[in-house]
Amino acid sequence: MKFNKNLENLTNYEAGKPIELVVREYGIKPQDVIKLASNENPFGTSPLVAKRITELATNAHLYPDDSYFELKDALANKFNVSSKNIIIGAGSDQILEYCLHAKANENSAVLMAGVTFAMYEIYAKQVGANVIKTNSQTHDLAEFRKIYDTHKDRISVIFLCVPNNPLGECLDASEVYEFIRYVKDETLVVIDAAYNEFAKFKDAKKGIEPEFIVQNFKNAIYTGTFSKAYGLGGMRVGYGIASQEIINELGKLRAPFNITTLSLAAAITALSDNEFVQNGIKSNFEQMVRYEEFAKFHGLEYIKSYTNFIILKFNEQNASQIVQNLLKKGIILRDMKSYGLNAIRITIGTAVQNDRVLAELDEILK
Amino acid sequence: MKFNKNLENLTNYEAGKPIELVVREYGIKPQDVIKLASNENPFGTSPLVAKRITELATNAHLYPDDSYFELKDALANKFNVSSKNIIIGAGSDQILEYCLHAKANENSAVLMAGVTFAMYEIYAKQVGANVIKTNSQTHDLAEFRKIYDTHKDRISVIFLCVPNNPLGECLDASEVYEFIRYVKDETLVVIDAAYNEFAKFKDAKKGIEPEFIVQNFKNAIYTGTFSKAYGLGGMRVGYGIASQEIINELGKLRAPFNITTLSLAAAITALSDNEFVQNGIKSNFEQMVRYEEFAKFHGLEYIKSYTNFIILKFNEQNASQIVQNLLKKGIILRDMKSYGLNAIRITIGTAVQNDRVLAELDEILK
């Protein structure tokens, strides 16, 4: 059977290995597995959210309120925009998908950093768009401009990951705004702010303001998620904030009930538990120092991170081998080989988790 | 800003009105609202599922096992196929979307019944495909063949909704198989079996066997859902069963973590609670008789239904007006006006719910 041509160039995204797989393959007890591979919140689910989910467990048969009235209202208040500037997705991932399905096609190109979130490329290829990456692995806006100037008429979407997953570096908000201004109105600039709560905490200059974007730009969208700082990775809720025009068009691609009834309630509750979020972010950067110190001690290069993970680069040692060896011990980290790097991405865990990971790494590097 | 041309012809699917809206707009207490508009399971969530969700409420921060190993394994056992013949979607809806995004495009056409599930058309238009509907509102396979013969080279996907939502009629499995055999290998026949558990219970001849499809056809896919008989509408889990070739290609369009951690666990548990499912289906047809008797008594036409809903057609009375009046009383039914029918679709409720709906309707028709 023949399928659409675009599928020929597609490969599947390799998700972080789940705890279940380690349990199945290595016979390790679930409670003994440490998973620091997918940038999940190490402090788990906010107790308020868990309580809300429990209260609604008997409502699993009911479709959610597809207008997402209450969640949009809460987000609108938080960000000081209108509900009409907001679209809800199954993770911000789905908003990225809508952006590409709405703006890119076989005749257009999509521009992104050399090493950045893998789904940009996959969604672009789904619609047959050409993918252009900067030579620089991290975001180099001078190079972005140069490429944009050369291919201005073809580039329909530009991704800025602020801060960048999987590397961790972060543009200043002012640089982002200046870049959007530089780009002509027909090119959509997607500001993927999945980890922006972390960056903003570390350095206020990194905080992207959705309100400013809505007020000043007709060709930009801010995407945020409940998966990271809010601790709801498993619930799949994200959002896009942009002009009403963009939101209306993306809305045509949104299937009804694209998030679950429990996810909707969980997200609304998570927004109200600011203490959980802020405590998690604070601990994240306190613990991150331990990995930085570890890297310095062992002469490993690392990227200064504005996220809840850190990249450790290896020299002689083979990072993939290290990841594989730790996996057998029940520690799941992310091998960066598929990104062309001899490096490991480690989600910053709790103090106890980091104790064990650092001890095991120390053993290997000794 | 310009968007892809395909978006120009798109409108949004109108979901059934949520309980929250009736509460907001008419000030009715949530517990007093009867919602029989979206074919949700009136018996709610299986207690086993609710228990499982409660157990896992603190796992909302963890991404699901994206291989969906355990769920696929359970489905493979149930249907006697291989896990490799199965793809998991956020509702069977998402599988329908994958089918169209994989097979249809601007140069192809998609064939479906005159009145059938609205999302077929929306997903087809998303990829710019031409939509062809039979003149017959219900599934008339003679007309399907005739249209197929005329447009053989352009028709890339054919939808058979077995039984048909929103009308309720149902083809025999043997008719479906014969039709697939008639269609050439390059056209994908999608058998939407969202309500097939109901049809099979009422009449064994209506039961579509995924195993038979996998063994005999390279150009057909069976789609099933946990939203109806299994009582998990709010959790968004469905599946497609087909040849490995089809499953592999559709898999390229599946984003990682397309269902939630709690949805995955809920679906696995729901599969184990056969008693809940069977009791619900049994009650459904017992209660449906009451609506049939009601229609006969009032001289209303109805469509013999193989699902968990029934269509009542009106003559002098305006169905939209009736739906609107009942809404103010906290009873949510589905107006069929957008399908071009002066009719109401009523989900078969519990005995208590049906008591009230029938009493209110009786009052109106007196």
Q: Say whether residue A93 is in contact with chain B using an 8 A CB cutoff.
A: yes
How far apart (Å, rounded) are the C-alpha atoms in residues A19 and B63?
10
> Which has the closest alpha carbon to A332: A341, A320, A324?
A324
The pair phi, psi for residue B88, each rounded to 5°, is -100, 135
Q: Say whether residue B36 is in contact with chain A using an 8 A CB cutoff.
A: no
Contact status, residue B254 vs residue B99, Cβ threshold 8 Å? no
> Which has the closest alpha carbon to A112: A155, A154, A152?
A155
Q: Which residues of A touch B13 (CB under 8 A)?
A: 255-256
pLDDT of residue A30: 87
Q: Which residues of A touch B97 (CB under 8 A)?
A: 255
| A235/B91 touch (CB, cutoff 8 Å), yes or no | no
What six digits make up the tokens of B308? Answer: 């968990």
What six digits make up the tokens of B307? Answer: 């699902």
Does the pLDDT at position A211 exceed 70? yes
3-class SS of residue B237: coil
Q: Say whether residue A224 is in contact with chain B using an 8 A CB cutoff.
A: no
Q: Which residues of A touch B11 (CB under 8 A)?
A: 252
Does the pLDDT at position A358 exceed 70? yes
Q: What does the pLDDT average to over A10-29? A: 79
Q: Say whether residue B90 is in contact with chain A using an 8 A CB cutoff.
A: yes
Per the model's pLDDT, the better-predicted residue between A156 and A25 turns out to be A156
Q: Say whether residue B91 is in contact with chain A using an 8 A CB cutoff.
A: yes
| A255/B41 touch (CB, cutoff 8 Å), yes or no | no
Q: Say whether residue B246 is in contact with chain A using an 8 A CB cutoff.
A: yes
> Which residues, numbered 346 to 365 in chain A, qualify as contacts with chain B under a Cβ-Cβ cut-off of 8 Å?
none
Per the model's pLDDT, the better-predicted residue between A230 and A13 turns out to be A230
pLDDT of residue A18: 77
How far apart (Å, rounded) are the C-alpha atoms in residues B3 and A100?
10
pLDDT of residue B30: 87
| A40/B62 touch (CB, cutoff 8 Å), yes or no | yes
- Is the dihedral angle over the CA atoms B268, B271, B276, B277 positive or is it negative? positive
Q: What does the pLDDT average to over A64-78? A: 96
H/E element holding B198?
Answer: helix B196-202
Q: Which residues of B touch A233 (CB under 8 A)?
A: 60-63, 257, 261
Instruction: Please tell me chain B's helix, strand, coil percentages from 3-state DSSP, rounded to the nearest 5.
Output: 50, 15, 35
> Which residues, numbered 184 to 203 in chain A, qualify as contacts with chain B under a Cβ-Cβ cut-off of 8 Å?
185-186, 188
| B255/A61 touch (CB, cutoff 8 Å), yes or no | no
Confidence of residue A11 (pLDDT cuts 50, 70, 90): confident
Count the residues in chain A: 366
Q: How far is A258 from chain B (nearest CA, A)?
A: 8
| B102/A3 touch (CB, cutoff 8 Å), yes or no | yes
Q: Which residues of A touch B257 (CB under 8 A)?
A: 15, 91, 93, 233-234, 236
Q: What does the pLDDT average to over A130-147? A: 98
| Interface A-B: count of C-beta contacts within 8 A | 243
Q: What does the pLDDT average to over A212-234? A: 98
pLDDT of residue B323: 96
Q: How far is B316 from chain A (nearest CA, A)?
A: 33
| B259/A236 touch (CB, cutoff 8 Å), yes or no | yes
How far apart (Å, rounded) are the C-alpha atoms in residues B131 and B125?
8
CA angle (A38, A42, A47) in 5-degree steps = 125
Does the pLDDT at position A298 exceed 90? yes
Q: Pseudo-torsion of CA B138, B143, B144, B145, nearest 10°? A: 150
Amino acid at A243: S
Does the pLDDT at position A188 exceed 90? yes
How far apart (Å, rounded) are the C-alpha atoms in residues B251 and B255?
8
| B20/A257 touch (CB, cutoff 8 Å), yes or no | no
How far apart (Å, rounded) are the C-alpha atoms in residues B203 and A262?
35
Q: How far is A146 from chain B (nearest CA, A)?
A: 23
pLDDT of residue B15: 66
- Pair type for strands B34-35 and B331-332: parallel
Per the model's pLDDT, the better-predicted residue between B366 and A215 turns out to be A215
Per the model's pLDDT, the better-predicted residue between B128 and A25 turns out to be B128
Q: Say whether residue A106 is in contact with chain B using an 8 A CB cutoff.
A: no
pLDDT of residue B211: 98
| B62/A233 touch (CB, cutoff 8 Å), yes or no | yes
Contact status, residue B318 vs residue B365, Cβ threshold 8 Å? no
Contact status, residue B183 vs residue B145, Cβ threshold 8 Å? no
Q: Say whether residue B258 is in contact with chain A using an 8 A CB cutoff.
A: yes
CA distances from B305 to B62, B110, B346 (A): 41, 25, 11
3-state secondary structure B42-70: CCCCCHHHHHHHHHCHHHCCCCCCCCCHH
Q: Which residues of B touch A21 (CB under 8 A)?
A: 65, 67, 69
How far apart (Å, rounded) are the C-alpha atoms in residues A305 and A288?
9
Counting Cβ atoms within 10 Å, is residue A284 exposed (0-12), middle (13-18) or buried (19+)? buried
Q: Say whether residue B65 is in contact with chain A using an 8 A CB cutoff.
A: yes
CA distances from A314 to A17, A300, A307 (A): 21, 6, 20
Residues of chain B with pLDDT under 70: 12-16
Q: How far is CA B161 from the centre of its chain?
A: 8
pTM: 0.97
| A7/B253 touch (CB, cutoff 8 Å), yes or no | yes
Confidence of residue A13 (pLDDT cuts 50, 70, 90): low
Q: Say whether residue A260 is in contact with chain B using an 8 A CB cutoff.
A: yes
CA distances from B4 to A103, A104, A155, A246, B127 (A): 6, 7, 13, 12, 10
Mutate to test the interface with A, among B96, B260, B273 (most CBs of A within 10 A): B260
pLDDT of residue B14: 63
- Is the dihedral angle over the CA atoms A24, A25, A27, A30 positive or is it negative? negative
Contact status, residue B158 vs residue B147, Cβ threshold 8 Å? no
Q: Pseudo-torsion of CA A64, A65, A69, A74, nearest 10°? A: -20
Amino acid at A264: L
Q: Say whether residue A8 is in contact with chain B using an 8 A CB cutoff.
A: no
B68 contacts: CB under 8 Å, gap ≥ 6: B88, B259, B264
| B50/A64 touch (CB, cutoff 8 Å), yes or no | no
DSSP for B147-159 reads HHHHSTTTEEEEE
Q: How far is CA B155 from the centre of its chain?
A: 23
Of A2, A218, A234, the CB nearest to B260: A234
